[in-house]
Amino acid sequence: MRPGRARQRRGASRALAGAVLGAAAARAAYTALTRRPPGVAGRAGTELWDRTNHRGEPVTLLEGPAFVAGAAAAGLLLPGVPARVRAAALLAGTGSGVLGGYDDLAGSGSSRGFKGHLAALARGEVTTGAVKILGIGATGLAAAALAGSPARTRTGRAADTLLNGAIVAASANLMNLFDLRPGRAIKVGLLAGTPLALTASGSAVVAAPLGAAAALLPEDLGERAMLGDTGANALGALLGLAATRLPLAPRLAVLAGLAGLNAASEFVSFTKVIAANPVLNRLDMLGRRPPQPAPVPEPAPAPATPA
């Protein structure tokens, strides 16, 4: 058997094992968390994690912690992963998830997007979103430094770490922008991550989170739960870390695409763009309940006729 083909088979086997482990761990974590939702002093678990979705119906944010726990557990158990890559994946996924969880539980929503958080900082107000953005940037750099580069590059080690850290952070932020409708962020993650999982270099990082995300997709599509910042930031960070295993030219292209989409989100609604495109809209609605029809106003009563 040719060495290249053997490497591909090993990568596919590792990806399958990681996906199965991630799915099993995420489902177990979700069952445990929803059975006994964790609370804090003075706030019950259900009060802490329950939110209202775009239909005005209750959903739980515990899908996010379940995803983080499942991806982390599977990443630790998956055999054949280099120690540095394993540690980087644990840091990227868990670190981004914790920072996203902080924004989920403590954020007010008064400032949105990079512009909103930077404007708040200029006024001397430190928002939870600003803490998350800066924290995920630092986490991305640290994870990139831990993982190292898969091959020697002419950019130099420091520049390569900056490039990879930017990819991790930008991917984490972008995935969160898709978590506005049921299943959307997970679908984007599966579409972007599957090609990476089939490469020998990326499969070790992304297979477990893809399995975890796929296992939680029915809860998301059923509008019983959502990833929230916790899960979406973690999923994006792990996808970004997998992309850092690519050669230099594809990594530069990935960063350009991530930067462009993040910048576009400040001016364009992704939901409106998806709804206006028949192919994207069909994919977005796949497995979802139909949109809620707009209420029909009752006709005004006819004026009374004089007797």
**212, 123 Cβ separation under 8 angstroms:** no
Residue 294 lies in a domain: no
Residue 13 lies in a domain: no
Report pLDDT for 30: 96
CA distance to 200, 231, 239, per residue, from 23 (Å): 20, 14, 16
Report pLDDT for 18: 86
Report pLDDT for 82: 86
pTM of the full structure: 0.87
3-state secondary structure (DSSP) of residue 13? helix
Report pLDDT for 8: 62
Residue 146 lies in a domain: yes
Report pLDDT for 303: 61
Residue 303 lies in a domain: no
For 261-265, the CB contacts below 8 A with 24+ separation are 261/174, 261/177, 262/114, 262/170, 262/173, 262/174, 262/177, 265/113, 265/174, 265/177
Residue 275 lies in a domain: yes
Report pLDDT for 176: 93
How many Å from the N-terminal Cα to the C-terminal Cα in the chain? 98
Report pLDDT for 110: 56
The whole-angstrom distance between residue 46's C-alpha and the CA centroid of its chain comes to: 23
Domain that residue 101 falls in: 22-285
pLDDT string in tens for the chain (307-residue length): 465 566 666 667 777 888 999 999 999 999 999 998 887 656 666 778 888 887 888 899 999 999 999 999 998 888 878 889 999 999 999 999 999 999 888 876 655 655 666 666 666 666 777 788 889 999 999 999 999 876 666 567 889 999 999 999 999 999 999 998 999 999 999 999 998 888 766 677 899 999 999 999 999 999 999 999 999 999 999 999 999 989 999 999 999 999 999 999 888 999 999 999 999 999 999 999 887 665 556 665 666 565 5
Residue 16 lies in a domain: no
Report pLDDT for 46: 72
Q: Is the dihedral of CA 200, 206, 212, 218 positive or negative?
A: negative
For the chain, the domain total comes to: 1
Residue 2 lies in a domain: no
Report pLDDT for 270: 92
- The tokens for 43 are 């706030």
Residue 75 lies in a domain: yes
CA distance to 138, 258, 275, 286, per residue, from 279 (Å): 37, 21, 9, 11
Alpha helices (H) along the chain = 3-35, 45-49, 63-77, 83-106, 113-122, 128-147, 157-178, 184-197, 203-221, 228-243, 248-264, 270-276, 278-285
